[in-house]
Structure 1
Amino acid sequence: MIRVLLADDEPMIRAGVAAILGAAGDIHVVAEAGDGHEAVELALKHRPDLCLLDIRMPRLDGLRAAAELGRMVPESAVVMLTTFSEDEYIASALGSGAAGFVLKSGDPRELISGVRAVAEGGAYLSPSVARRVISHLGTGQLGRRATARARTRELTGREREVLALVGSGLSNAEIARRLHLVEGTVKAYVSQVLARLGVKNRVQAAILAYEAGLVPEE
């Protein structure tokens, strides 16, 4: 069971997210917080597997709360809840310690996939968020696209398949089912892909997959 702490200053958002997570069957919300300061306090108390944080919260926003959690509760992974209007926060937070970004208005399946992927020790970037981040980066997009295509061209066909599915937000288990492989084999492929591309985590791999055109537009 994946133990999650949920932090958002809007009670209705918390209730909706908690209901979605609870329906997954393997995810349990152990505590809810209305601001970042309370989230840190509850994380210290409950030691959850994962903290799901809204970016904009009173007293202590999600980004600063994520930094505090990284120092005080490093065993708890962090996934950020965001909206389209917060692209600049996403772009600046990719290196802040958060392992995932999920849209509040996105498909509930993305939320569940993101929580599972990060709980497995990976990272997750909602496909819609990935496209917005790449767009937000602005100038130099064509150059990055050519570079990304050149880097991914060195991968094997199977590695490119795995990278594309990572870019689509699938967890290792979901990729295994899609490609008819065992999960351990997928985990090994993901590790190989990250190493060959020289990226640190699945978030960076997902962005590279989008830049290289491996993930189809919705």
Structure 2
Amino acid sequence: MIRIVIVEDLPMIQEGIKLLINAVGDFEIVAEYSNGKEFTDDVRNLDVDIVLMDIGMPVMDGIDATKLAVSLCPDIKIIALSVYSDRKYYYSMVTAGARGFVLKQSTPEELEGAIREVNNDGNFFSPDLLHSIIVNIHGLEEEITQDNQAKKELLNLTDHQVRLLEFICQGLTNQELAKKMFVTLATIESNKRRLMQKTNTKNNAGLIIWAIKNKVVEI
């Protein structure tokens, strides 16, 4: 069973999430909270695999709750429940430790897929949300580029790998990456595999989260 905690202040949304979760045979809701403080006060007592975390909540919001939960339980896996108006909070949630973002208007299949991907140590972005982040990522430029050279050296990234990360964060497909970097598709696929190994990520969403969190990429 995949044990799930829901942290959401709106009863109607909380009930909707519960219906979706309860419809999946190997999902189990083990606790529910209406704000971040209730959750973090109890987090060390929980036996949980996935936390579904709202961003905007009273008393303690999802950003502060995620930071505190990760500091108390470093291996905790948190998926942010997001709406488009939360866009300005994406960077804060990534640096706080969220491993995925799901739009509240997503399909049940997408929520299930996100839970399974993050439970398997991956990262997940709702496709529409990922596109929105890519389109609007320029607003994060000042924060992302701080200490870029020092961070690159610390993480032992080559100039080629940093450039590849930049293009991935711009939403380019493998075919577009190959054309942009004047190499074959096989070379791009091989280079991405090495980059994912170095960053301990599994897919483009993971790479984008990693690049933003570590302030490596200059967009």
TM norm structure 2: 0.69
Rounded Cα–Cα distance in structure 2 between residues aligned with 1:73 and 1:193:
27
Measured after TM superposition, the shift of residue 14 of structure 1 is 0.8
Aligned pairs, number: 176
Partner residue, 1:127: 127
Partner secondary structure for residue 37 of structure 2: helix
Partner residue, 1:48: 48
Identity %: 28
Alignment partner for residue 205 of structure 1, among 204, 207, 217?
207
CA RMSD of aligned residues (A): 3.1
Measured after TM superposition, the shift of residue 46 of structure 1 is 1.9
Partner residue, 1:216: none
Partner residue, 1:194: 196
Partner secondary structure for residue 6 of structure 1: strand
User: Contact (CA 8 Å) 1:7, 1:54: kept in 2 or not?
Assistant: yes
1:60-75 → structure 2 map (5 Å cutoff): 60-75=60-75
Consecutive unaligned residues of structure 2, counting only runs of 5 or more, are: 142-162, 211-219
1:1-218 → structure 2 map (5 Å cutoff): 1-138=1-138, 144-145=166-167, 149=177, 150=180, 156=186, 159=189, 192=194, 194-195=196-197, 199-201=199-201, 202=203, 203-205=205-207
User: Contact (CA 8 Å) 1:91, 1:133: kept in 2 or not?
Assistant: no
Rounded Cα–Cα distance in structure 1 between residues aligned with 2:129 and 2:183:
24
Measured after TM superposition, the shift of residue 19 of structure 1 is 1.1
Partner secondary structure for residue 96 of structure 2: coil
Rounded Cα–Cα distance in structure 2 between residues aligned with 1:6 and 1:151:
43
Which protein shows a greater Rg?
Answer: 2
Consecutive unaligned residues of structure 1, counting only runs of 5 or more, are: 161-189, 209-218
Partner secondary structure for residue 121 of structure 1: coil
User: Contact (CA 8 Å) 1:31, 1:42: kept in 2 or not?
Assistant: no
User: Contact (CA 8 Å) 2:124, 2:206: kept in 1 or not?
Assistant: no
Pair 54,153 (structure 1): closer, same or farther in 2 beyond 3 Å: farther
Pair 151,200 (structure 1): closer, same or farther in 2 beyond 3 Å: farther
Measured after TM superposition, the shift of residue 21 of structure 1 is 1.3
Pair 99,151 (structure 1): closer, same or farther in 2 beyond 3 Å: farther
Measured after TM superposition, the shift of residue 72 of structure 1 is 1.1
Rounded Cα–Cα distance in structure 2 between residues aligned with 1:55 and 1:123:
18
Partner residue, 1:171: none
Measured after TM superposition, the shift of residue 158 of structure 1 is 10
User: Contact (CA 8 Å) 1:103, 1:129: kept in 2 or not?
Assistant: yes
Partner residue, 2:151: none
Pair 117,152 (structure 1): closer, same or farther in 2 beyond 3 Å: farther
Rounded Cα–Cα distance in structure 1 between residues aligned with 2:21 and 2:109:
10
Q: Can you list the C-alpha shifts for 1:40-63, whole angstroms capped at 9, x where unaligned?
A: 133222231111100001111001
User: What letter corresponds to residue 50 of structure 2 in structure 1?
Assistant: L
